[in-house]
């Protein structure tokens, strides 16, 4: 199964951006979303931002993923 995860854009450098997912920071490619801006939430799959998403939806998705992770640990 493939999964795209939302992350908040915290820095943009040409064709790459730094995103934050929880406390984790990652560098991703942003060529597929050239209109991305600082503070946007993007869906990330295989190291690439593939879509800009609504902040509210991104936060809901992150909360669900957090719940899944907590259930898996117990």
**What CATH number did the domain enclosing 48 receive?**
2.30.30.140
For residue 67, the model assigns a pLDDT of 86
Kindly indicate the confidence band of residue 65, based on its pLDDT and cuts at 50, 70 and 90: confident
Give the domain range for residue 67. Answer: 5-73
Q: What is the pLDDT of residues 25-61, one digit of tens each?
A: 999 999 999 999 999 999 999 999 999 999 999 999 9
For residue 3, the model assigns a pLDDT of 84
SS (H, E, C) the chain: CCCCEEEEEEEEECCEEEEEECCEEEEEECCCCCCCCCCCEEEEECCEEEEEECHHHHHHHHHHHHHHHHHHHC
Tokens in use for 17?
A: 């951006």
- Note the pTM of the prediction, 2 decimals: 0.88
For residue 72, the model assigns a pLDDT of 65
Per the structure, the count of domains in the chain is: 1
State yes or no: pLDDT of 6 exceeds 80: yes
């Amino acid at each position: 199964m493939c999964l795209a995860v939302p992350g908040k854009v915290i820095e943009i450098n040409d064709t790459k951006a730094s995103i934050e997912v929880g406390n984790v920071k990652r560098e991703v490619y942003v060529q597929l979303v050239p209109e991305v801006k600082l503070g946007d939430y993007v869906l990330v799959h295989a190291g690439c931002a593939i879509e800009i998403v609504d902040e509210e939806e991104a936060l809901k998705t992150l909360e669900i993923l957090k719940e899944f992770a907590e259930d898996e640990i117990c």
